[in-house]
Amino acid sequence: MIAGALILSVGTTSYAVYQAKNLRVFFEADVTEEQLKKAGEAFRAIEGVSEVEYVPGEQAWADFQAEYFADDPELAQEFDENPLADSFNYKLTVELSANTKEVREAIENVEGVRMVSDLSELK
């Protein structure tokens, strides 16, 4: 009985993962904190966007290191400073049932947005 519930739970989680698409939204270098805050509010209001997560420069650098320097973490130590310290971006989760083209256009029209990218486009 417990094994069946566990399998059902894992199956539901796996299904939920395939029900969404992740986008990364990058901003112009001169974006203000107020613009970033308003952008987050605007993203939350877009139909089809189910999750909005602000990623500060420190987290962006940590994520980058984990992904690209995983096999050789000493390479990251070659950097004196965080090269992504001024990186401003949001990670958005968009429901697969949403019209992705319309969602991307709505995101691109938010003030300060420089680029919208599917996470698979970044690799």
Read off the tokens for 3: 């094994």
The encoded tokens of residue 46 equal 């877009």
6 lies in some domain: no
44 assigned to some structural domain? yes
- Coarse DSSP helix, strand, coil percentages of the chain, rounded to the nearest 5 percent: 50, 25, 30
In total, how many domains does the chain have? 1
Evaluate whether residue 14 is within a structural domain.
no
| Cα–Cα distance, 32 to 28 (Å, whole number) | 9
pTM above 0.75, yes or no: no
Let me know if residue 63 belongs to a domain.
yes
In a domain, 85, yes or no: yes
Q: Is 51 helix (H, G, I), strand (E, B) or coil?
A: strand
Domain harbouring 118, CATH code: 3.30.70.3040
- pLDDT at residue 41, rounded to an integer: 98
Q: Is residue 10 part of a domain?
A: no
Check residue 116 and report its DSSP letter: E
Domain that holds residue 113: 21-122
Tell me which residue has tokens 């949001």. Answer: 90
- Does residue 74 have a pLDDT over 50? yes
Strand partners, 94: 21, 49
**In 28-112, beta strands by DSSP E:** 49-55, 89-95
- Give the tens place of pLDDT for each residue, 90-99: 999 999 899 9
- The pLDDT score that the predictor gives to residue 109 is 97
4-48 pLDDT, tens digit per residue, is 443 444 444 434 445 578 999 999 988 999 999 999 999 999 999
- Asked if residue 9 is part of any domain, the answer here is no
